[in-house]
Homo-oligomer: A and B are copies of this chain.
């Protein structure tokens, strides 16, 4: 398990008329942070796409605890949570950089698709990437799930 921390400042266009960051942006920040996770581990999206792999989000959940607004800095912890043959997930925690207050927690689930958006079993097609991913995530249930044989 390799935790990665992504940080930046809130942008003005990310706020709404409530005066705080619009809730949809946290999902985009998860994506930014996830991009850094892949990049730091030499597994970035751009490379994957050049192999013809896309990695859509198939599930997302977020709990909003404290708001952020323009002028605030934040950091986002990306925690690899689970990795199966065709599916993997991350947990996220977003903190206010000045106060270290926890603002948002969330998680995303992903699968691997080929260019025609069909499910890709990376253990068959890209065994090296598969092994790398497996090491990065908690080593969960390694037995192939029956549903996808």
Contacts and interface: CB of A to CB of B under 8 A. Distances in A.
Nearest to A14: B16
B27 A45 contact: no
Indicate the size class of the contact surface on chain A: 35 or more
A17 B59 contact: no
Contact of A22 (B8, B9, B13, B61): B13
Interface of A: 8-9, 11-13, 15-20, 22-25, 27-28, 31-32, 35, 44-46, 49, 54, 56-64, 67, 69-71, 117
Closest 10 CB pairs of A and B: A46-B71, A15-B17, A61-B61, A23-B57, A24-B27, A17-B19, A13-B28, A18-B54, A60-B62, A13-B22
